[in-house]
A and B are shown apart, each in its own frame.
Chain A
Amino acid sequence: MKRIFVIALVMTFAASLSMAQHWDQVYQSGNSNNSSVVQGFMDVGTAKPGNGARVWQIGNQNLSDLKQFNGGYAGDQHYAEVYSYGNNNTAYTFQSRATGTSYITQIGDWNYGNVYQNGNVMNSEIYSQGNANWAQSILWATNSYSKITQLGNNNVANQLMGQGMGEKVQGSYFESYQQGNQNFSHQHMAGDGYAGGITALNNTGIINTFGNNNSAVQYMYEGSTSAANNWANAYQNGNWNNSQQYQTNAGNSSVHWQIGDGNVSVTVQN
């Protein structure tokens, strides 16, 4: 009997070798629950297999804090998923080094989702459905992708890349989609603080809004003398919307699409 037990264990873990090194699944139902998951290795400079975690929280006033580390940038990919169903929920994902993918889904009102990624080729998506939700994506990475989708009113989408983090920002893509009224979407790509000079090159920012009284603001800062080649695109369908785009250096593109009445657009390129 015990021999069978050991064989079964060996087979189980052999099968898991192709998956993440650490794989956690957490399901919490109820109110005022707290989940903290920390995965990885701290030995700096050594790449390790990746980590994976999936957290479900059903209820109100819940908190999920998910952190994933790797010792080297060449390590396998992190994977994080957080689902929040209810009101006043908060979800954080943090991924450091290696590559990483992070998803946050929040259904309800007054929720907060925050993604922080530090590495190369990072991907993140935040989806919120409800009112008065705040979604924030902070990337310290190159060749990365961030998308925020919000359905409802009075929502905020905030996407920051490289701002004040001492890292260059290159070849990355921001996208936000908001459907509803009184929403605000902000995208900021800047390499200020990077040791080799301020660098924000070849990035793309896209904002799509459907509804009234929405605001879109996009900043792309390139501090060197070379062409920045950043591209900002805002599409707004509705009335009394506002779109602002600010870009420094040369080679940039600014596009506003506004359909409706009483809309305002501003472009500053210098």
Chain B
Amino acid sequence: MAVFLNFEIHSQSNEAYIEQVGYGNTAEIFQEKHTSDNFIYLSQIGDLNKAVLSQQASVGLGQNTLELYQIGLSNMLIASQIGFGNYSSVTQSGNDNFYELTLTGNYNDLTALQSGSGNTIIQELSGSSYKIDIKQLGNENSIIHIDSYSSILQMSIIQSGTGARLMLVNGLYPK
């Protein structure tokens, strides 16, 4: 089952709510440029879920908000956020979860929880201020985080299990 949404609400804010229960679900959501603020709530409970999400708020003080829950095996999330303020909360529980985020913004608050085996998080961020909390519970977890131009960053990482791999790179480019 595939769901394609691109709401345009004249109140200057797009909001998308999706709940999927079952096998092989896919959700692709694109919220781009038309409004000041974007909001996505996505819950996928079942096997082989996949989500591709893109949020791009309007120029100025536009904000993006993402809340995602994936419970089950082989879940995957690929997300992109561009806006003045970005907020994301990602929870993946199950095996072989994968979460990739590309983000550009000035005030960003990111939270991710992965529990299960083989969890992976890849973040590539560009912007100024970040507050990031990541927890991974299980074995063979891996995190790659790169924030190219960050000026202020507070980051908390918890990895519990065997064979974890962590690489953090903070602001190693001229600004």
Set of chain A residues within 8 Å of B139, measured between Cβ atoms = 30
What is the CB-to-nearest-CB distance from B145 to chain A, in angstroms, rounded to a whole number?
9
Set of chain B residues within 8 Å of A28, measured between Cβ atoms = 158-160, 164, 166
B150 at the interface (CB under 8 A from A): yes
Given contacts A6-B63, A13-B107, A27-B157, contact A38 B169 (CB under 8 A): yes
Given contacts A10-B107, A21-B152, A22-B171, contact A30 B158 (CB under 8 A): no
A30 contacts B161, C-beta separation under 8 Å: yes
> Which secondary structure dominates chain A's binding surface?
mixed
A13 contacts B170, C-beta separation under 8 Å: no
A30 to B61, CA, bound (A): 43
B98 at the interface (CB under 8 A from A): no
B163 contacts A22, C-beta separation under 8 Å: no
A34 contacts B165, C-beta separation under 8 Å: yes
B154 at the interface (CB under 8 A from A): yes
A22 contacts B170, C-beta separation under 8 Å: yes
B160's contact among A30, A39, A43, by CB below 8 Å, is which? A30
A94 to B63, CA, bound (A): 37
User: Count the B residues whose beta carbon is within 8 Å of the partner chain — how many?
Assistant: 38
A25 contacts B156, C-beta separation under 8 Å: yes
Set of chain A residues within 8 Å of B151, measured between Cβ atoms = 21
What is the CB-to-nearest-CB distance from A160 to chain B, in angstroms, rounded to a whole number?
27
| B128-175 CB contacts (< 8 Å) to partner A | 129, 131, 139, 150-175
What is the CB-to-nearest-CB distance from A105 to chain B, in angstroms, rounded to a whole number?
19
Residues of B within 8 A of A (CB): 37, 61, 63, 65, 85, 87, 107-109, 129, 131, 139, 150-175
Residues of A within 8 A of B (CB): 2, 5-6, 9-10, 12-13, 16-17, 19, 21-43, 46, 51, 59, 69, 71
Q: A22-B152, A22-B155, A24-B157 are in contact. List 5 more A-B contacts (CB 8 A).
A: A5-B109, A9-B129, A31-B163, A40-B172, A41-B175
